[in-house]
Chains A and B, each alone.
Chain A
Amino acid sequence: MRNESQRPYSNQTFLEPHIYPDAFSGTLWALDGIKDGLVLLNGPTGCKFYHASVSNSQYCRGTSYNPAQIDEEFYFRQNRIPCTYLDGNDFVYGSEEKLRKALQTTVTDQHGFVAVVNSPGAALIGDNLEGVLEDELHDTPWLAMENTGFSEPFYTGFQKAALALLHCLQIPKQPTRARTVNLIGFSIYQKHHEGNIRELTRLLSLAGIQVISTPMAACACLDLIKSPSAALNVLIAPESGHEIAQWYSDHHQIPCLELPIPIGFDATEHWIKQICEQIGGNPESALEAINYARAVSFQHLHSFNALSGFPKGTFYGIKAEYSLARGLYHFLTPYLGMLPSVIAFYEEPDPILLRTFREELAEKALEGCLTEVESAPFHLLFSDGNTIAHHKARGTIFAGVEVCLPSLGYTDVIPKATMGCQGALYLIEHVINGLKFFCK
């Protein structure tokens, strides 16, 4: 397998890894993950087009580019993240005039909040965003993100923005509603966030538990305002939600349950049982759904395995966010008997989290696979479209499974999931189809 997957192809002698977004993008996509907020970028259109495009394709709230419907000025025919289209003159003279006009033009009384976010360049010129917002907005809650953090980690910006918004909304304390949760740690920049939220909401609903909000990921301001009534916060991924959960704990005394990400049947079962135990749900129906999914899984894996012996013993690589990577490992290796050849992260995880994962891998003598994706061969690569295409162009023979953004461009009409029963089946489907080529 090693020889087969290492065919030299490219005439390029040096290869650069995919460049992951930083705190600036994290800020924009956190705030624009709220359905009825207005995120106004105080910056050039060069910082707007990409973010607005990703935002609406990940979380649809209308159409873009229709010259009959969407304004050119500030929106530039995109329906999300209007901007002040700063240029060289504005960097010298300041952006106040444009910012005022943009606010006057774009804000409506239907917006649940207005956030003005400085681009990296605008952050250096020191415009008084708060002064302008105070002048222009009287009834709508607002927040100003003067400096989102230059090259800081994506989720640092994401969580900073989340806390700023939660603070700005001045959410009142509320009585706790039994058997309710908030799911914390989702982001619209997670490839399958919509399908994952749906799947986890479905399973919880089977257990009689209601999801009140998914802060910063495809929810409305009203959901956030109701969020303090949840009996429990369930932390999906510490890197993207730890500080948000802490805020709820500090300000609204909501306990936080941090569980391994529900990827795979065992993890999903554990996840639903723990939540039920904590707030009194009945897991039976959810467990039945999981068992049915296990049956479907067995049916297909058995057919595949009977003729090929696969997937046991095949290699996989992962380049993803920490929690997703760890969750995939805990599903693919114990359940499918696959071996990780490489596990890499977009951003260096918190040292404590990394140590935990390293220890888990060390139990199977697999800690050596915590290395860069370039360094090992694999039959399957779980990653983003850039990383998959990058390795394809090198001539490596493998099947790519897209679990992160950016995508290769396939349009998912039916939302896919990587979590819960549907997620486990989705991953198994890709494992089986991806390994067929290697069956001799």
Chain B
Amino acid sequence: MQVGCDPKHDSTRQLLNGHPSVTVLEYLRQVTPDQYSFEDIVSIGYAGVACVEAGGPEPGVGCAGRGILSTFSLLESLGVRTQNYDLILYDVLGDVVCGGFAVPIRNEYADVVYIVTSGEFMSIYSANNILRGVTHFNNSKHRIGGLIFNQRNIEGENERVERFANAVGLPILARIPRSNEFAIAERLGKTLIDCLPDSSVTGLMRELAVKITDSPKRYEANPLSESELEQVVLGKVVNRPHSFLNQQTEAFEKPLIKSTRLATSKLKRIVSKNVLYQEPLHGCAYCGAVSVSSQVSDAIVISHGPRSCAHMAYNAVTSAGRRLYNERGILLPNQVQPNIVSTDKDENIMVFGGTELLKSKIEECKKRKPSAIFVISACTSGIIGDELQALKETDDIPVIPIETDGDIAGDYMQGALMANSEIALNLVDSQVNPNPMLVNIIGERSFYKNAEDNFKAVEKLLIQLGLRINCRYLSNTPVSQIREMKKANLNIQAFTDYKGRMLRNFFEQNFNMPFFDMPFPVGFFETAVFVRKLGERFHIDKERVETLLSAETERYFERVGQLKQTLKDRRIVIILYNRDIDWLLEIIQHLEMTLVKVCVMNSCSEDHFHSRYLEDTPVEMHYEMRGKESQIRAWKPDILLSTYNASEFGDEFFTDSIPYSPDNGMFGVLDIAERWAEIFDNSLHEGWKADEKYFNWYFGTFKK
């Protein structure tokens, strides 16, 4: 395989009979992630060579280095390492100007680096820069194959290149003369070997190919300083101790197509809704990953980016925690003192790279003896190409990189999914045996203020059934519990929305973990089915289960009967983003209210709308609320329920908001309906709504 890593995308043109292939970056722009296919970006050219071109932006705009990173990320996620190529050749720009362009020469990609240079000073300068680039990626491993001299027939070029080769201790593997034959081949859209198989230059190419595939030696990168380089190239011999003749070399191993990043390639297939449908991203993956990973109670989360990113993520994590403390006096340690630290990348780091800074931050954090360290990258790290995977460790204190690269990996949900999956892949022990009466709780959302109450409600139900909770993944969870996740005999999800479904797929596919079919229940029906199904699943005495339910059922319908007196036949219109609203439709049905319309607005986090009441529900999907006031009035609702309690209707009819996260169990919904009844019974109105005109006068941007 040959991968062209230049925005000019001309590396494989001759292999493909002069026809340009689709570039990876164009492909990423045009195709949704669920449609990504390895075959789409690979063209088979001369002699069966698989050709890939990274491509890039127009000159002078964007960031081509970032494009190289995106290309390699896609190739990885599509399993390039499992394709069994004899050899993968990355054709890289000579100017290693930033971390992005240096990606192919990282340890995880290039086993051997060959440097093409001609005899001009600037070309040799670039060759030396490549050596400097290689030294940044674990130079203890010798990886330089040698120089390939592209002769230009200019005066003194042989001497200059030889002096350079000698000074840096590298052999010149081939001297390719200037020849018109290249132009002929190019005109015909063919490779030299295909076009002129018997020419002398072709012979040199064949010899070089043999050296590359059979060469026994690799050399250390020993770049020259700028002053040394000038001395060497401009004619003064520098006595450096390392000549390639006596330099220690390492035996050449046939390049192996390694699979060191399996974890990443797996997780890339779990994509958020925004990423899947290429929608505007809501929030950034970095923040989602920080929020999830900060729920590991004895780990440290390193934010690798500028301080502003860490500040925003820190406050996203503590927001619900602070409010919970203020409103209820409850202190959740992970949400008021999250273990988030920042590398505080500054201007210098942006220019010169942040890998060393990150390394030292990791060492500093290790001294505090956390059970794990998560490293999460912001946009700037992804753009300048800081290398996180190389810092991964699996020792006493695992260091787990989560390469969100700000929002380059996707939206908030994508980051949350990445953190969930990377943490599991790196920490969960697959060898643990299950205990029959243990369950895990999966995917709680700590940013909802009722998350802890909802957990307690479900925990109470589980305890009543004789079950115990093994691990809350992830909600104030220690690493030891994550490691032993497979002790649970069943996994119960807090939510089975889009994100919940992704998480379930992930755990089923990677850990073969059994999942319960229902999420935390809301409302009468779900709660009853939840308890009965759990009872069946764990062979709990039926009588015990029914006893548990019967008292609750009686109490539920007694309250419904009372509420019906006020709410029966009331006309109700619902406009919302939420998708799981059966709890709401159920109470409307139980109260015999008249459901006039359900208008579902597009949601950034869910693509399904499903309901067991679908047949009886007048649903309008993709609803846009702007300019619909007269339509809503025409429906003559007694109650307008919406995700956002709109003030447009003043006091014309009763409007109320729908919680994103309703209370679990049978009675939370009844509490909401009871409020409606109180409002109707007492004919309550809201005089304050008439004051909007004053608000607009005093506080509108342009009104005063």
Which A residues are closer than 8 A to B by beta carbons? 10-16, 18-25, 35-36, 44-47, 49-51, 60-63, 65-69, 72-73, 76, 79, 85-94, 96, 110, 119-121, 124-127, 147, 149-152, 385-386, 389-390, 392-394, 406-410
B28 within 8 A of partner (CB): yes
Show 7 A/B contacts (Cβ-Cβ < 8 Å), sorted by A: A11-B298, A11-B333, A16-B337, A51-B312, A92-B25, A150-B345, A389-B318
B383 within 8 A of partner (CB): yes
Are B347's CB and A91's CB within 8 A?
no
Expressed in whole angstroms, the Cα–Cα distance for A10 and B287 within the complex equals 25
**Stretch binding the partner chain, chosen from B240-248, B501-509, B621-629:** B621-629
Expressed in whole angstroms, the Cα–Cα distance for A389 and B330 within the complex equals 10
Expressed in whole angstroms, the Cα–Cα distance for A110 and B701 within the complex equals 9
Are B314's CB and A88's CB within 8 A?
no
A124 contact from B56, B350, B646, Cβ within 8 A = B350
Q: Name B58-93 residues within 8 Å CB distance of A.
A: 58, 61-64, 66-67, 70
Are B350's CB and A18's CB within 8 A?
no
Are B308's CB and A66's CB within 8 A?
no
B701 contact from A61, A69, A86, A150, Cβ within 8 A = A61
Closest to A411 in B: B326
- Given contacts A19-B314, A65-B644, A120-B306, could you give 13 more A-B pairs where the C-beta distance is less than 8 Å? A22-B311, A24-B308, A44-B406, A45-B282, A46-B281, A91-B62, A92-B62, A120-B380, A125-B66, A125-B383, A152-B346, A389-B321, A389-B331
Nearest chain B CB to A368 CB, angstrom units: 26
Residues from chain B with a CB closer than 8 A to the CB of A47 are 284, 308, 312
A389 contact from B322, B344, B643, Cβ within 8 A = B322
Interface string of B340-380 (1 = CB under 8 A from A): 11101111011000000000000000001110000000111
Expressed in whole angstroms, the Cα–Cα distance for A20 and B310 within the complex equals 9
Expressed in whole angstroms, the Cα–Cα distance for A23 and B582 within the complex equals 46
Interface string of B575-596 (1 = CB under 8 A from A): 0000000000000000000000
Q: Sorted from nearest, which 3 A-B pairs have the closest CB atoms? A: A46-B284, A121-B379, A94-B61
Expressed in whole angstroms, the Cα–Cα distance for A8 and B445 within the complex equals 28
Expressed in whole angstroms, the Cα–Cα distance for A143 and B594 within the complex equals 55
Are B280's CB and A45's CB within 8 A?
yes
Expressed in whole angstroms, the Cα–Cα distance for A65 and B297 within the complex equals 33
B688 within 8 A of partner (CB): no
Are B408's CB and A110's CB within 8 A?
no
Closest to A12 in B: B333
Residues from chain B with a CB closer than 8 A to the CB of A152 are 346-347
Expressed in whole angstroms, the Cα–Cα distance for A16 and B412 within the complex equals 23
Are B648's CB and A68's CB within 8 A?
yes
B687 within 8 A of partner (CB): no
Residues from chain B with a CB closer than 8 A to the CB of A385 are 318, 322, 326
Interface string of B388-426 (1 = CB under 8 A from A): 000000000000000001111111100000000000000
B540 within 8 A of partner (CB): no
Residues from chain A with a CB closer than 8 A to the CB of B644 are 65-68
Nearest chain B CB to A142 CB, angstrom units: 18
B283 within 8 A of partner (CB): yes
A408 contact from B57, B323, B338, Cβ within 8 A = B323
Looking at A46, A87, A120, which has the most chain B CB atoms within 10 Å of its CB?
A46
Residues from chain B with a CB closer than 8 A to the CB of A406 are 315, 318-319, 322
B327 within 8 A of partner (CB): yes
Looking at B64, B67, B318, which has the most chain A CB atoms within 10 Å of its CB?
B318
Closest to B449 in A: A409
Residues from chain B with a CB closer than 8 A to the CB of A18 are 314
Nearest chain B CB to A208 CB, angstrom units: 25
B549 within 8 A of partner (CB): no
A85 contact from B281, B314, B368, Cβ within 8 A = B281
B269 within 8 A of partner (CB): no
Expressed in whole angstroms, the Cα–Cα distance for A394 and B699 within the complex equals 40
Expressed in whole angstroms, the Cα–Cα distance for A92 and B626 within the complex equals 34
Residues from chain B with a CB closer than 8 A to the CB of A13 are 298, 368-369
Q: Name B598-653 residues within 8 Å CB distance of A.
A: 601, 624-629, 643-644, 646-648
Residues from chain A with a CB closer than 8 A to the CB of B406 are 44, 46, 121
Expressed in whole angstroms, the Cα–Cα distance for A399 and B309 within the complex equals 30
Expressed in whole angstroms, the Cα–Cα distance for A36 and B380 within the complex equals 31
Are A46's CB and B286's CB within 8 A?
yes
Nearest chain B CB to A114 CB, angstrom units: 13
A150 contact from B306, B370, B405, Cβ within 8 A = B306
Residues from chain A with a CB closer than 8 A to the CB of B316 are 50
Are A86's CB and B331's CB within 8 A?
no
Nearest chain A CB to B649 CB, angstrom units: 10
Are A68's CB and B626's CB within 8 A?
yes
Residues from chain B with a CB closer than 8 A to the CB of A110 are 701-702
Expressed in whole angstroms, the Cα–Cα distance for A46 and B382 within the complex equals 15
Are A408's CB and B325's CB within 8 A?
yes
Residues from chain A with a CB closer than 8 A to the CB of B48 are none
Expressed in whole angstroms, the Cα–Cα distance for A61 and B29 within the complex equals 37
B16 within 8 A of partner (CB): no
Residues from chain A with a CB closer than 8 A to the CB of B702 are 36, 110
